[in-house]
Structure 1
Amino acid sequence: MTGFLLRWAVAFGLLTLTFNPTAWNYLDWSRRSYGEQTPLIVLLGLLLLMGYVIYLRATFRSIGGFGMIMVIAVVAALFWVLYDYGLLTVRDESELVWLGLLVLSLVLGIGLSWSHVRRRLSGQSDMDDVSE
């Protein structure tokens, strides 16, 4: 469980570093600082891109596009139930953005963790193709 929480937290950090409703994110900072800090913007952008490549590649390999849609659908249905019972309220647009970041980070966290879950359930390990 702690492995999943760590993978989910890193995914959430990656997404929120890239964009969030506050002024403290890569996209807003890079727009404000483009002329003065272009080399640093490019370097940090490439590091973020590397993080996305790792997470997205692992997620597509483990749960695929259909699995990603299913995770989003289940979490959206959960939010709908919580909203319907009055346990979740959305007062403004920034709360919707935070919920979206939470959903996307759960998709990436589950995608990166799914091979570990499958191995525990089935006793079989996933292997990458040898020709790659």
Structure 2
Amino acid sequence: MLFLARWVMAFLLLALTFNPTPWNYITWARTDGGAQLPLILLLGLLLLVGYIIYLRATLRSIGALGMGLVLAIVAALIWVLVDYGLLSLDNPGVNTWLAIVALSFVLGIGLSWSHVRRRLAGQADVDDVDE
């Protein structure tokens, strides 16, 4: 259940930043320009903090190779769905949503991996602390 919450938060972070609808940060910041610059900057910084948290945790837990493997598994799953005719890649909007789901899955697994490893192996990850 906690993985689902972490994945949903990663999905929201990515979808709020960009999605194929007009309701996203990048489109809003481009169209509103300098009219609401302080608010654009504040929300951009909040999104940046979210990305730093997720990316740092993901890189520390599964690393770049793990991120690539998870992304490859998601890509292979999409390929299977397309090959069996369950999914079509003709619509660019659907492709964008698929990319958001794939990337959020990578970030969700990255943020959850330490918890999964602790349950499977009984070993906890501990950050290096210099005292």
Runs of 4 or more, structure 1, over 3 Å off, are: none
- Structure 1: stretches of 5+ with no match in the other structure: none
Q: Distance in 1 between matches of 2:96 and 2:32?
A: 24
Displacement of 1:34 in angstroms is 1.8
Distance across 1 between alignment mates of 2:94 and 2:118: 36
| Counterpart amino acid of residue 10 in structure 2 | A
| Partner residue in 2 for 1:17 | 16
Q: Which amino acid aligns with 1:104?
A: L
- Give me the TM-score of the superposition, normalised by structure 2: 0.97
Q: Could you tell me which residue of structure 2 aligns to residue 117 of structure 1?
A: 116
Q: Secondary structure at 2:110's aligned position in 1?
A: helix
* RMSD between aligned residues: 1.0
> Structure 1-normalised TM-score?
0.97
Aligned residues: 131
- Distance in 2 (CA, whole Å) between partners of 1:96 and 1:20 is 10
- Identity %, equivalent residues: 65
1:87 Cα offset (Å): 1.2
- 1:35 is matched with 34
1:8 aligns with 2:12: no
Tell me if 1:57 matches 2:17.
Answer: no
